[in-house]
Structure formats: structure tokens, C-alpha cells
A and B are shown apart, each in its own frame.
Chain A
């Protein structure tokens, strides 16, 4: 009689301790999140432009790309990294900088764009001058007011560091360092930056509901904005002159700088509106700090010119209340799981220089 009771007590105690133990080891809280390094197309997204052909994402390649992204070694005096002007908390834009300052605090002409869903980009930069994700980093590296460094110098500096040689070996099978391997690793890191878990995405997946203002904003957005900013990427990547007065101190010809075609004068690539709440200031020269200013431009600020986007002639009619609701909707495009995704953060990278 005693023995079974004793055993039963033991059993209950053990169960209780297991219960307590389970609670303390709640995988949601304690266990490290399993990080994956596989590119997945979110539901409802089209197939990407960059499909990682010949450059399959691996953990080692991704981490090498991340180290390069955060390493100022890419600049001539080792002061400017990609991440200097592309910061995760602002969806990899440059918070509170109309235009960014590069090497020696030299100012460029354009606002640093946010970075996400890059695998879907058909072109890069505001003027679309760069045609491939793997070649994008060469632009800022060589720009005299950004990193002002040569590719042979970058390769030489990186090759001198054992940490890099080890990472290249892990990623590509040998410690030979070439621009091709460097750019492919960076393409793995950048191409993996997918933002598709905003409140809007959750709403579209039936996981949440929109407030009346957000819902009304979505309807208004669809009617007034989605021609140029269509879901799910919220851009069609086309070049447009959206009626901004030309700033004579910048005198930026935009797309025409690349095509030399007067019909492309002052046209810039239509940006995605995902994470727009986080990526102020706005427009190619960062002239607007608030979404209200941006929408006011479309109602009353459009400047006519020969290359003005025809659909913007006369502006877009929006009442004050409609603007408020559209902004409420735009804020549902904020994806904070992306801006805190540990995989894209700087990882205690020890730079040996």
C-alpha cells in the first residue's frame, strides 16, 4: 500500500517538475530561433527577377555577404560601409538624411533608398543605371563621393585578411578572392532581404483585420496610387517624372543621365511604398520629411514639364480626410519583423583593420 503510494507521489512530482521545466524552456522564449538561409517567394509574390542561378544561397555565402555589407573596408579610407547609408531599423534606408554623406563627409545628389525585396528589382539606383544585383555594389564602391575605392584595392585589402580568406573558403570552396565571389556573396545577403510580413500582408493572409481608416485608405490607395505602386511589391519599377520642381542646386537629370534621352529627363524609378513609414525622408532627393508632405505634393505641388507623368497632370485629388486614411493604410505596409530580423543585423563583426 505504501509503496504504490510512494511511487505515485514520485510520479506526480516528476510530472510537476517536467511541467515546470517545460514552462521554463518555452521554445518561444528561450530556445534560439532557428535561422534559415533559403530563399522563398512569399505567397502572392511573382517570381523574382534574380533567381540565384549559379549562386545558390548558403549559410556561409550569406554570412560572408553580410560581413562585407557591414564592413567599411569597401571604402578607400575604411570609413564607409554599405550599412553606413542603409540601416536596418529604417528598412535599410538612411534615417533623417535627405542625401547621404560618403567618404570625407562628401554629399551625394540622391536619397539613399531603402533595401528589401531586392531579388525582384529589374534595375538598381534611382536612375536604373545598374542592371544586376551582383553588380550593384560596384556603383557605390567606385563613386567618388560614396566609397571612392577601386575594385583591385578592395580585393587586395580583403585578401590580406585571414578571416576573409576563411570565409571565402567556406562559401566558395577555396580562399581565392575575386570580385565575382565578393559580389555573389553580397547578392546572397541582399537578395535574401524579403519584406512580406507587414500588417497588410497579414491582412491579405486573413490573419488580421484593418481598422476602418486603414481599410478606407486601402480603397483610396487602390483607386488613386496603385497604377504606379501596385501590390504586392508596391512599385512597377518604371521611371517617371512625378512633378517635383527641379532643384537647381542638384540639377539631377535622373534616368536621362543613363539613357541620354531627353524624353527621360528628370524621371526616376518609382520606389516601393513598403516600409515607407520607416524610410523618411522621401523622394529621390529626400526633400519631404513626412508622408503628409509627400501626399500634399500630389494634390497641389505637381510642376508641369514636358516629361511629367501624364497621369499626374493636374495632380491627384485627395481630401484631408482621405490623405489621413491613405497614410493610415501606408503604415500597414511597415514590416517590423524585417527590421529586427537577426539574420540581417550586424553580427559582432570584428574588422581587422
Chain B
């Protein structure tokens, strides 16, 4: 009797566990795919004005007038976080955003595991590993003009333009922010807030619309005066100053 009770209990347990296995994990959304896509779309601006190369005048926080001729930067190591702290890392995550190339201003993570994400981080620039690993290709091809050939390393972000206030030859404004090691390096890891917006990854392709405000290079914590500082192309203290400034150039406009 005792044994048959145990046998029945075991059999019931087996049936129960089998039944459980056959039950869909989330009966409410049986068609949720395992992964979805998230596109990052960048709008480069100067205090809300979209950047138009060569022809548009802008004013920096020091009230210096300037024109933008070239604006490029690297975004790398994109990571998306869920509320429980687990995260998704984009593989081979290297993107060169070039104001002169519309296609470059957005990129898509095609295989993000489905679910709700609450925050993100990415690097402005290229991580030190890829700066010491020899010839790279794609976004990291040295032919993209974002590479110092005489002192190996990527230019993390680059601005070329002009300003009447600049005392450089031709009144140029030229900032090449680089360096992957040392106190003055140009790499910054940033975490622009979703501002409580939801990033629900699954059957609907999502897009994060990012604003990039060039004037943040010259605003806080250090105000830049083009009359005294309009060009910098070495990994020096000013390189660090600009990198500290541009840390907050990215904001999430909206997610849809």
C-alpha cells in the first residue's frame, strides 16, 4: 500500500512535470520572437539647430561664430541593460558617424534578445584593444581618416571648421580628439538616459533617436574660447578638457 502510494505520487509528479514543460512560457504572447532589432539614429545639432556643413553659421557658448566643415565620431561597445541588470552587448560594435554621410548616421543592432530594456551605455571612441591590434577594417579602416598613422591610434572624434574669432591660420577650427591610454585620453563611456521611455524589443523594430549637440564640446565644465583655443591635435591636457566636455553631448530625444 505504502509502495503503491509512492508509485502513484511519482507517476503524478511525472505527468505534472511533463505538462508543465509543454506549457508555453508566456501564453499571452505566443508569437514573440527570440530577438528584435534596435536602430540608433543620430541627429547632429548645435544647440537644437541641425548641422548643415559649410554654409550655416553657428554660435558657440562663448559667442564665437563658427562654420562646420567636417564632424565625425566613433560610437563603440554599445550595451543595452534590462531592469535586472542583465545586458546585451552588440558584437563587433564599431560605428563611425559622419555628418557628411547620411547612411552612417544610423546603425541597427539586428539580434537583440527580446524584452524590456531600461538603459544603455556606449563608448565615444574606440577601445584600447582595437588601438593595439594591428590593421583593422570596416568602420575601423585607417583609410577613414580617423587614424593617426605617425602615433598609432584612432581619432575618437573630429571637428573641422572655421571661426572669425580663431587666430589659427585661415581662422580654422580644428579639433582631433584621440588617445586610448593615459590621463589625457579621448575615450569616454557614456550612459544617455532613456528618460523613463520604454525600449520593448521584440516583434516591433525599435529606434532610439539620439541628439548630438556639438556645442557641448565647448560648454561644460570648461568654456572654450575660439580666440585662444581653436585647434588641438595631440593627446594633451586640452584633449582631456574637450573629452570631458563632450561626455554629455548625447541625449535620447525619443524611442519608438
Contact = CB atoms under 8 A, between A and B. Distances in A.
Contacts of B235: 260
Contacts of B131: 131
- Chain A binding site: helix, strand, loop or mixed by DSSP? helix
Given A155-B143, A260-B236, A183 B134 contact: yes
A139 B152 CA distance: 9
Contacts of A180: 135-137, 141
Nearest to B147: A138
A312 interface: no
A221 B207 CA distance: 67
Query: What interface size band does chain B fall in?
Result: 10 to 19
A179 B132 contact: no
Q: Which of A131, A132, A135 has the most CB of B within 10 A?
A: A135
A82 interface: no
Most buried by B among A152, A179, A183, A187: A179
Interface string B118-154: 0000000000000111111100011100010111100
Contacts of A138: 142, 147, 149
Contacts of B190: none
Interface string A113-131: 0000000000001000111
B234 interface: yes
A277 interface: no
Nearest to A131: B152
Given A138-B147, A152-B143, A260-B236, A132 B152 contact: yes
Contacts of A134: 134-135
Judged by DSSP, the binding face of B is: loop
A352 B234 CA distance: 39
Interface residues of A, number: 27
A198 interface: no
Given A258-B151, A260-B236, A183 B143 contact: no
Contacts of B135: 132, 134-135, 179-180, 183-184, 187
Nearest to B237: A260
Contacts of A130: 149-152
Contact of B134 (A139, A187, A257): A187
Interface string B213-256: 00000000000000000000011100000000000000000000
B149 to A, nearest CB: 4
B142 to A, nearest CB: 6
Given A151-B143, A178-B141, A129 B150 contact: yes
B134 A135 contact: yes
A152 to B, nearest CB: 5
Nearest to B132: A131
A133 B150 contact: no
9 contacts: A55-B134, A130-B149, A132-B132, A138-B142, A142-B149, A178-B141, A179-B135, A257-B151, A260-B235
Interface of A: 55, 125, 129-135, 138-139, 141-143, 150-152, 155, 178-180, 183-184, 187, 257-258, 260
